[in-house]
């Protein structure tokens, strides 16, 4: 029963969806404060390479090394986000172009590749990687075993993050302040909220999440380093924020859906099932489905603009409001 | 001390040249720091870079091979970005142009006849291929308000998969199926000789060939400049970019304009794809580590932004960045740090963006006097 296609797909959807979830949560926080960061792919790659580097260089027990690797990935992602934050918050540069610049700077042919080559990380397996956390007995339970209990610790941490971000945005004073900054920075400023500080903080935290997302790819899903290993996951994460109407709990659902789509092609191939005419079709399914869902969401809610922060992408200049 | 940024009333002309130039210098300085930190000698690395880009024998010949597609990609991005339509799908539109262009070359070239005809067919087919692929995000944006950044980007991945599929995973029209090599490693079917684009060879640096595509690139820049500067279409597109509300009140048809601008952008990218096949590879390159790994479409965004979306500046910058990229490819190996060129490009773009504020604003550093500190530090601004 646990080998049935559906169970395997859902279980691997959770596994593959976890990096997407981390990255989307980070982007969601940044966007809620009004900063659009299109550099997710680049931040993820730098987090991925630095996390992998930590595991290769630090010689401690597996748990400690992996925890440190996640921290290093988060710091690397934060450092990348700091460039974007400085450009768009302080210098009020165009957020779209700056985010694209970050992806080019940090991305598959930029800093992440430079670091990967310079630190000799290519083509070696990871010394440590994340494995299923819970005892075998629980993992073998029908249906829920592989889906809920067969996951690594990052999956459970991501659930805590979803709850934390959800509570933060709806139940805490700073969380409500972020929403004010994202919706109407001028009003927030009048209330005495420091718009610049909030935007910086949330862009940086967004970068940290993206870094963790990247590290979770190189340490849990495919434990190795290859240039451009994220393969567009950063972009799918940005799309996820739109699908989820800027809500963390819906991010989780979306991330697992796209995670399952990503594992669909290899799973079907392994079972000799051909869906549609060709390999081309199954491989491009995650991208095509992202576009389809994006169209449905944007056309249905375009008029109501459900969830999108009103000041998203707009720099705030006190004198001009 | 307080640093404040205030808007300039007039933008000095010299700054429009000084900012991009300063950005490049700044980028090389920052990258030098990166090199030193990671244990490389920046002086010798940069000397290698410039020699390979512009000075060595036949280096300009090689630079043009990179600069030509970059000019197309930069122009494609500039055409769309000028209207604040962020088409980052030039990469995929180029693949489609290569696919349709190669098909036209194989078909019409194979039927014989004088060279201009198959080449003209490739140009038209390439432009149509890129245009059609660009219209997907265009239509979605115009009719469903779907974010064109994401759709155009995601379609790049689909186009890449399609390209690989045609050569590696199927027995398509584009694939070489005859001969010994075809059974060992899948390759594209070579173009017939009369569909190969001619070049103009100069006797400098031991033979420098200017590919036909480079002339088309300059031609596209001229057309784009005329289109945006001298026609009603261009004027309306610019107004729509600067102030959508003003454009709506003036009766500009939003949907039509989005579709037209995406079509122009995609057609230029598609022409770049046809030029890839006709000028350089002479067969469809489906290798995931070939054309797809270079990412001309993404570098084109850097080119367009640095050229501030001015077509002629884009062509010039394509040549300079093309040199950088060519040197990066030529020097790739254990002695030269990979990824350095992307790092430098990224920093150039960051500093150009940051430099924008220098040309639009004046930065003032005022020292707080005792009198100032007595006043409330965060006095509310009078309502505008």
pLDDT confidence of residue B379? 43
pLDDT at B335 over 80: no
Which of A16-20, A245-249, A271-275, B204-208 is predicted with the least confidence, judged by mean pLDDT? A271-275
- Residue pLDDT, tens place only, A143-176: 777 788 878 899 999 999 999 999 999 999 999 9
Contacts of B153 (CB under 8 A, 6+ apart): A232, A235, B88, B89
pLDDT at A9 over 70: yes
Considering A136-145, A150-159, B198-207, the range whose residues carry the highest mean pLDDT is A150-159
**Cross-chain CB nearest to A298 (options B145, B155, B302):** B145
pLDDT category at B23 given cuts 50, 70, 90 is confident
Residue to test with chain B: of A118, A314, A317, most B Cβ within 10 A:
A118
pLDDT confidence of residue A1? 64
Contact B309, B78 (CB under 8 A): yes
- Residue pLDDT, tens place only, A182-194: 999 999 999 999 9
Average pLDDT of span B329-339: 74
Q: Which residue of B lies nearest to A233 if distances are taken between CA atoms?
A: B154
- Yes or no, beta carbons of B154 and A109 under 8 Å apart: no
pLDDT confidence of residue B300? 92
- Yes or no, beta carbons of B147 and A103 under 8 Å apart: no
pLDDT at B377 over 60: no
Both ends of chain B: CA-CA distance in Å?
A: 26
Q: Which residue of B lies nearest to A295 if distances are taken between CA atoms?
A: B146
Question: Does the domain at residues B55-314+327-333 carry the CATH identifier 1.10.3470?
Answer: yes
Going from the C-alpha of A39 to that of each of A43, A95, B118, B254, the distances in angstroms are 6, 10, 42, 29
pLDDT at B181 over 50: yes
Instruction: Using an 8 Å CB-CB cutoff, list chain B residues near A290.
Output: 150, 154
Is the model more confident about B73 or about B168? B73
pLDDT confidence of residue B382? 47
Q: Which residue of B lies nearest to A283 if distances are taken between CA atoms?
A: B161
* Tokens 């994401």 -> residue: B150
pLDDT at B370 over 70: no
Helix (H) or strand (E) holding B264: helix B254-275
pLDDT confidence of residue A214? 96
pLDDT category at B161 given cuts 50, 70, 90 is very high
pLDDT category at A261 given cuts 50, 70, 90 is confident
pLDDT at B374 over 60: no
pLDDT confidence of residue A305? 57
Residue ranges of chain B assigned to CATH 1.10.3470: 55-314+327-333
pLDDT at B363 over 80: no
A111 in contact with B, Cβ within 8 Å: yes
Q: How far is A129 from chain B (nearest CA, A)?
A: 26
Residue to test with chain A: of B343, B382, B384, most A Cβ within 10 A:
B343
pLDDT category at B106 given cuts 50, 70, 90 is very high
pLDDT at B295 over 60: yes
Contact B22, B351 (CB under 8 A): yes
- Yes or no, beta carbons of B299 and A104 under 8 Å apart: yes
**Cross-chain CB nearest to B353 (options A38, A93, A290):** A93
Contact A25, A209 (CB under 8 A): yes
pLDDT at B1 over 80: no
Please give the mean pLDDT across all residues of chain B: 86
Residue to test with chain A: of B36, B74, B154, most A Cβ within 10 A:
B154
**DSSP H helix total and E strand total for chain B:** 16, 4
Average pLDDT of span A302-311: 67
Q: How far is A270 from chain B (nearest CA, A)?
A: 17
Residue to test with chain A: of B9, B150, B163, most A Cβ within 10 A:
B150
Which of A48-57, A299-308, B280-289, B315-324 is predicted with the least confidence, judged by mean pLDDT? A299-308
- Residue pLDDT, tens place only, A197-233: 999 999 999 999 999 999 999 999 888 998 888 888 9
Which of B60-74, B117-131, B174-188 is predicted with the least confidence, judged by mean pLDDT? B174-188
Q: What is the dihedral of CA B311, B312, B314, B316, to 10 degrees?
A: 170
Q: How many CB pairs under 8 A join A and B?
A: 159
pLDDT at B114 over 90: no
pLDDT confidence of residue B75? 97
Using DSSP, state whether B111 is helix, strand or coil: coil
pLDDT confidence of residue B369? 55
Going from the C-alpha of A275 to that of each of A272, B36, B196, B340, the distances in angstroms are 10, 52, 39, 42
Using DSSP, state whether B201 is helix, strand or coil: strand
Contact A203, A98 (CB under 8 A): no
pLDDT at B373 over 80: no
Taking alpha carbons only, the member of A184, A135, A137, A130 closest to residue A155 is A130
All domains of chain A in start order, with CATH: 5-320 (1.10.3470)
Average pLDDT of span A81-93: 92
B40: DSSP letter: -
Contact B319, B72 (CB under 8 A): no
pLDDT category at B332 given cuts 50, 70, 90 is confident
Please give the mean pLDDT across all residues of chain A: 88
pLDDT confidence of residue B159? 95
Going from the C-alpha of B230 to that of each of B225, B226, B237, B248, B266, the distances in angstroms are 8, 5, 12, 21, 21
A273 in contact with B, Cβ within 8 Å: no
pLDDT confidence of residue A304? 58
Instruction: Using an 8 Å CB-CB cutoff, list chain A residues near B343.
Output: 105, 110-111, 114
- Yes or no, beta carbons of B158 and A100 under 8 Å apart: no
Instruction: Using an 8 Å CB-CB cutoff, list chain B residues near A87.
Output: 350, 353-354
List the structure tokens of B370: 């005792």
Instruction: Using an 8 Å CB-CB cutoff, list chain B residues near A115.
Output: 339
pLDDT category at A306 given cuts 50, 70, 90 is low
Instruction: Using an 8 Å CB-CB cutoff, list chain A residues near B169.
Output: 278-280
Average pLDDT of span A5-20: 90
pLDDT confidence of residue B368? 59
pLDDT category at B376 given cuts 50, 70, 90 is very low
pLDDT category at A136 given cuts 50, 70, 90 is confident
- Going by their DSSP bridges, the two strands B208-211 and B199-202 should be labelled as antiparallel
**Cross-chain CB nearest to A91 (options B6, B155, B357):** B357
Instruction: Using an 8 Å CB-CB cutoff, list chain A residues near B295.
Output: 108-109
- Yes or no, beta carbons of A104 and B301 under 8 Å apart: yes
Question: In sequence order, what are the beta bridge partners of A236?
Answer: none
pLDDT confidence of residue A126? 82
A242 in contact with B, Cβ within 8 Å: yes
Contact A180, A193 (CB under 8 A): yes
Using DSSP, state whether B176 is helix, strand or coil: coil
pLDDT confidence of residue B329? 79
List the structure tokens of A89: 């918050």
Angle between helices B59-81 and B90-110 (to 10 degrees): 120
pLDDT confidence of residue B176? 86
Which of B150-154, B268-272, B330-334, B338-342 is predicted with the least confidence, judged by mean pLDDT? B330-334
């Amino acid at each position: 029963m646990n080998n049935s296609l559906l169970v395997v797909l859902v279980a691997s959807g959770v596994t593959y969806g976890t990096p997407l979830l981390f990255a989307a949560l980070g982007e969601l926080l940044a966007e809620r404060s009004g900063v659009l960061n299109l550099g997710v792919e680049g931040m993820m790659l730098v987090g991925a390479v630095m996390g992998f580097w930590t595991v290769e260089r630090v010689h401690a027990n597996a748990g400690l090394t992996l925890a440190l690797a996640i921290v290093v990935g988060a710091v690397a992602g934060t450092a990348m986000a700091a460039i974007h934050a400085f450009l768009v918050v302080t210098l009020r540069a165009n957020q779209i172009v700056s985010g694209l610049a970050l992806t080019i700077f940090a991305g598959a042919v930029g800093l992440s590749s430079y670091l990967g080559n310079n630190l000799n990380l290519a083509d070696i397996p990871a010394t440590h990687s994340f494995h299923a956390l819970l005892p075998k007995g629980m993992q073998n339970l029908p249906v829920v075993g592989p889906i809920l209990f067969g996951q690594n610790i990052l999956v459970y941490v991501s659930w805590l993050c979803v709850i934390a971000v959800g509570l933060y945005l709806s139940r805490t004073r700073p969380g409500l302040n972020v929403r004010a900054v994202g919706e109407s920075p001028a009003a927030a400023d009048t209330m005495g909220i420091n718009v610049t500080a909030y935007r910086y903080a949330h862009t940086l935290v967004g970068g940290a999440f993206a870094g963790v997302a990247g590290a979770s790819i190189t340490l849990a899903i495919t434990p190795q380093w290859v240039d451009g290993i994220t393969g567009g996951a950063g972009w799918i994460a940005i799309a996820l924020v739109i699908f989820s109407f800027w809500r963390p709990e819906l991010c989780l659902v979306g991330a697992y859906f796209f995670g399952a789509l990503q594992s669909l092609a290899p799973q079907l191939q392994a079972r000799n099932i051909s869906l549609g005419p060709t390999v081309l079709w199954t491989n491009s399914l995650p991208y095509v489905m992202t576009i389809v869902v994006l169209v449905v969401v944007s056309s249905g809610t375009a008029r109501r603009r459900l969830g999108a922060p009103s000041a998203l992408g707009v720099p705030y200049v006190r004198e001009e409001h | 001390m307080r640093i404040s940024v205030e808007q300039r009333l007039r933008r000095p002309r010299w700054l429009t040249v000084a900012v991009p130039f300063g950005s490049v210098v700044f980028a090389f300085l920052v990258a030098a720091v990166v090199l030193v930190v990671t244990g490389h000698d920046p002086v010798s690395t940069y000397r290698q870079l410039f020699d390979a880009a512009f000075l060595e024998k036949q280096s300009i010949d090689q630079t043009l091979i990179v600069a030509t597609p970059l000019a197309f990609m930069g122009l494609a991005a500039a055409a769309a970005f000028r209207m604040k339509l962020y088409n980052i799908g030039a990469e995929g539109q180029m693949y489609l142009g290569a696919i349709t262009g190669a098909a036209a070359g194989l078909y019409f070239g194979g039927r014989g006849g004088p060279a201009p005809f198959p080449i003209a067919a490739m140009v038209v087919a390439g432009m149509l291929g890129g245009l059609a692929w660009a219209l997907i995000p265009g239509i979605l944006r115009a009719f469903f308000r779907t974010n064109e950044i994401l759709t155009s980007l995601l379609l790049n991945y689909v186009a890449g998969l399609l390209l690989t599929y045609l050569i590696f995973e199927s027995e398509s029209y584009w694939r070489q199926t005859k001969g010994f090599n075809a059974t060992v490693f899948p390759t594209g079917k070579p173009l017939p000789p009369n569909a190969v684009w001619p070049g103009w060879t100069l006797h400098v640096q031991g033979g420098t060939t200017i590919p036909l595509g480079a002339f088309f690139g300059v031609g596209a820049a001229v057309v784009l400049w005329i289109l945006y500067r001298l026609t009603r279409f261009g004027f309306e597109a610019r107004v729509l970019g600067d102030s959508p509300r003003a454009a709506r009140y003036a009766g500009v048809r939003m949907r039509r304009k989005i579709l037209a601008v995406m079509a122009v952008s995609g057609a230029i990218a598609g022409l770049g794809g046809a030029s890839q096949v006709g000028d350089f590879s002479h067969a469809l390159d489906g290798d995931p580590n070939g054309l797809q790994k270079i990412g001309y479409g993404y570098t084109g965004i850097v080119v367009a932004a640095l050229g501030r979306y001015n077509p002629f500046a884009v062509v010039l910058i394509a040549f300079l960045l093309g040199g950088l990229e060519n040197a990066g490819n030529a020097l790739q190996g254990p002695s030269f740090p990979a990824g350095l060129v992307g790092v430098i490009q990224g920093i150039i773009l960051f500093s150009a963006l940051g430099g924008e504020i220098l040309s639009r604003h004046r930065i003032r550093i005022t020292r707080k006097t005792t009198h100032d500190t007595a006043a409330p530090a965060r006095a509310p601004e009078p309502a505008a």
